């Protein structure tokens, strides 16, 4: 029995036609689903803007003020100053470019090397697999950070491209391994058999059939590689590796601890805390955003609208 009330409110049921939400729309949905992810995204956007536009906001020679060495926080110097009176805020903003660019390039190289080698090894099993896996094992066994320190003395890492390249070379091992095992299991699946049966070229199979299925792993790894690369390059500069640039965050940390005595006296604290907090904030942003990336690339986690 329908009550009069409900009879009035019965509408014709018109289901929304399924448009096949595009990747970007779905991605945006996954970001906005939780506040934490929005915050993460905003932070990443902020730093990217800093990296791109930062150096343009200041003249290429930052002003020094020898009367304001290690000045306390004030309106003029929102984050204090360094050993020659340059505003720490200016240093952080102009230094973001190298740090982020090198990290992004490093993550890119890691993912490219790791994925390509992993796919090839996993698909074309046999001697190519063994050779690639031996090389991978080799790179996985060599202690990567000391290797980086040694390499940094042999080659100059002044250009972010060089730094990114070296970071990529030393860290693709884990990625290659994981992609290989995923490829190994995927190549037995029905759709790959079908593609082979259709006579599609191996490269088509690799890059159009298998690759999209590993993409979720790649996406996550891209972001985690970025954090790993930031850690490695800032660490290298912290340890005192050339080249020296005053606005490099790692160099700032090094100078704050070892020449300014920030750990022993509070005056130089802003000089220590500015790069520290910048790093923390950036890491926070990436970690929060990672959650969204997981959902973005993994269709099974997505709830459709």
Element at 53 (helix H, strand E): helix 35-57
Shortest separation between residue 269's beta carbon and other proteins, angstroms: 8
Residue 250: partners with Cβ closer than 8 Å, 6 or more residues away: 233, 234, 235, 236, 237, 238, 275
Q: Closer to other proteins at the Cβ: 195 or 279?
A: 279
Residue 138: partners with Cβ closer than 8 Å, 6 or more residues away: none
Shortest separation between residue 219's beta carbon and other proteins, angstroms: 16
Assign 16 to helix, strand or coil: coil
Contact residues for other proteins, defined by CB under 8 A: 36, 61, 63-64, 66, 69-70, 83-85, 137-138, 141-143, 145-147, 149-151, 153-154, 224, 227, 230-231, 234-235, 238-240, 242-244, 246, 253, 255, 257-269, 272-273, 276, 279-280, 283-284, 286-288, 290
Q: Are 219 and 293 in contact (CB under 8 A)?
A: yes
Cis, bond preceding 243 (omega within 30 deg of 0): yes
CA 41/CA 179 separation, integer angstroms: 27
Q: Closer to other proteins at the Cβ: 183 or 254?
A: 254
Shortest separation between residue 258's beta carbon and other proteins, angstroms: 6
Shortest separation between residue 202's beta carbon and other proteins, angstroms: 30
Shortest separation between residue 54's beta carbon and other proteins, angstroms: 19
3-state secondary structure 83-140: CCCCEHHHHHHHHHHHHHHHHHHHHHHHHHHHHHHHHHHHHCCCHHHHHHHHHHHHHH
């Amino acid at each position: 029995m329908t009550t009069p009330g409900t009879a009035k409110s019965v509408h014709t049921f018109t289901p929304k036609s399924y448009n096949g939400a595009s990747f970007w729309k779905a991605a945006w949905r996954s970001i906005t689903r939780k506040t934490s992810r929005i915050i993460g995204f905003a932070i990443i956007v902020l730093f990217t803007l800093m990296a791109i536009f930062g150096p343009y906001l200041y003249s290429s020679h930052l002003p020094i003020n020898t009367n304001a060495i290690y000045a306390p926080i004030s309106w003029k110097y929102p984050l204090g100053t360094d050993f020659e009176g340059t505003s720490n805020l200016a240093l952080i903003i102009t230094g973001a470019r190298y740090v982020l660019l090198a990290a992004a390039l490093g993550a890119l190289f890691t993912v490219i090397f790791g994925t390509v080698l992993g796919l090839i090894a996993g698909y074309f099993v046999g001697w190519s697999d063994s050779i690639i896996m031996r090389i991978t094992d080799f790179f996985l066994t060599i202690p990567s950070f000391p290797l980086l320190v040694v390499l940094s003395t042999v080659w100059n890492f002044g250009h972010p491209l060089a730094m990114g390249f070296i970071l990529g070379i030393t860290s693709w091992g884990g990625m290659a391994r994981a992609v290989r095992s995923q490829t190994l299991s995927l190549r037995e699946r029905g759709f790959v058999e079908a593609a082979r049966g259709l006579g599609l070229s191996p490269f088509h199979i690799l890059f159009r059939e298998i690759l999209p299925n590993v993409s979720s792993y790649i996406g996550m790894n891209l972001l985690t590689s970025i954090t790993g690369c930031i850690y490695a390059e800032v660490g290298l500069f912290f340890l005192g590796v050339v080249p020296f640039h005053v606005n490099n965050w790692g160099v700032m940390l090094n100078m704050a601890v070892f020449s300014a005595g920030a750990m022993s006296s509070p005056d130089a604290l802003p000089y220590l805390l500015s790069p520290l907090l910048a790093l923390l904030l950036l890491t926070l942003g990436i970690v929060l955003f990672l959650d969204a990336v997981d959902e973005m690339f993994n269709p099974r986690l997505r709830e459709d609208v």
